[in-house]
Amino acid sequence: MNKLGLRTYSGLPVSVGEDSRWVLAFLRQHRESPHDAVDVAYMGLIADWLGNALHQSAQKELLQRIALTDPLTGLPTGARPRSDCKSERARTPRDGHGFALALVDLDHFKMVNDRYGHAVGDEVLKAAARRFESGMREGDWVARWGGEEFLFVLHGSTVEEAASVMERLASQAVRRRSRPVLAPFP
């Protein structure tokens, strides 16, 4: 501290929600009088602002962690598909039939993001989500498992049936792929 020429110190508590473990330190090079009233008021404002900002970002993170619907695709996400899987499992003996799970990962998604940007990547995810949802039977569901992964639950399906549902979705994906239009050159 001395090396840097810092001679006075003021510490203000910073409250982040209920948590006040934090101290914001102001260091000064002057040796004269401690901070005056205006300085103290400014430091108080800065400490409050910092506390609020930290609190907000902590709350936002918490909300995202417990968020049950993906804002991008509108599909269930996070803890919800995981707990829904457990409920499906619990229902199995009562329903008298099992179910199939399918985990889908979009091919070369990272490349799309890198080459065309995240806005295009987001559109790809939204389009995939819409296509998957419209291909579902009543009662079956699809969730955004994370990143470019989607989880499908198909009731009363054997693994072969589920595989053919997925094959059908995959073939639609290929058929809908846009092709270059060949037009005569003027």
Active site residues: 148
C-alpha–C-alpha distance, residues 138 and 151, integer Å:
16
Per DSSP, 77 falls in state B
Residues between 117 and 176 with contacts to another protein, criterion CB under 8 A: 124, 128, 157-160, 162-163, 166-167, 169-170, 173-174
60 vs 86, which CB is nearer to another protein?
86
Tell me if 24 contacts another protein by CB under 8 A. no
- Total of residues contacting another protein (CB under 8 A): 36
Tell me if 89 contacts another protein by CB under 8 A. yes
C-alpha–C-alpha distance, residues 28 and 41, integer Å:
16
Q: What is the dihedral of CA 160, 163, 169, 174, to 10 degrees?
A: -110
C-alpha–C-alpha distance, residues 150 and 109, integer Å:
13
Tell me if 177 contacts another protein by CB under 8 A. yes
Sign of CA dihedral 103, 104, 108, 110: negative
Residues making contact with another protein (CB under 8 A): 85-86, 88-89, 92-93, 96-109, 112, 124, 128, 157-160, 162-163, 166-167, 169-170, 173-174, 177
